[in-house]
């Protein structure tokens, strides 16, 4: 049993996984920044969905079946622009952390 466990551990180290799942394709700071911005945009879109869900629409300027269909897309576009313009600073920290974890995984 010890030999089996030992071979499994050795095999696990030989078939190295990325330090952070889903970040295997990130090889430089620019890619990390783009992934982090995309994540921040999704996060901001979710925040905006919650905020917009609490507001009431006046019938003169909004409402109707079209608005409910397109509100989510509008929030996503707002969120993308916000993230590209610096957003809430989440993308910077995420990109830095992804690169740090990648380097730690490559060294150890």
Give me the chain's average pLDDT, please. Answer: 77
Instruction: Count CA atoms closer than 13 A to 33's CA, side-chain side.
Output: 8
The tally of domains found in the chain comes to: 1
Q: How many other CB atoms are found less than 10 A from the CB of residue 97?
A: 13
Q: What is the predicted pLDDT for the residue at 13?
A: 47
The string of pLDDT tens digits covering residues 25-69 is: 677 888 888 999 999 999 999 999 888 876 666 666 666 777 777
For tokens 């990130």, the residue is 26
Question: Which range marks the domain in which residue 19 is found?
Answer: 2-107
Q: Is this model's pTM higher than 0.85 or not?
A: no
Is a pLDDT exceeding 70 seen at residue 93?
yes
């Amino acid at each position: 049993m010890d030999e089996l466990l030992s071979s499994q551990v050795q095999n696990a180290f030989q078939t190295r996984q990325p330090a952070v799942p889903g970040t295997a394709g990130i090889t430089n700071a620019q890619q990390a920044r783009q992934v982090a911005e995309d994540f921040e945009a999704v996060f901001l879109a979710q925040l905006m969905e919650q905020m917009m869900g609490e507001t009431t629409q006046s019938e003169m300027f909004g409402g109707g079946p079209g608005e409910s269909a397109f509100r989510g897309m509008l929030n996503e576009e707002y969120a993308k622009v916000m993230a590209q313009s610096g957003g809430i600073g989440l993308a910077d920290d995420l990109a830095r952390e992804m690169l740090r974890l990648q380097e730690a995984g490559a060294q150890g």
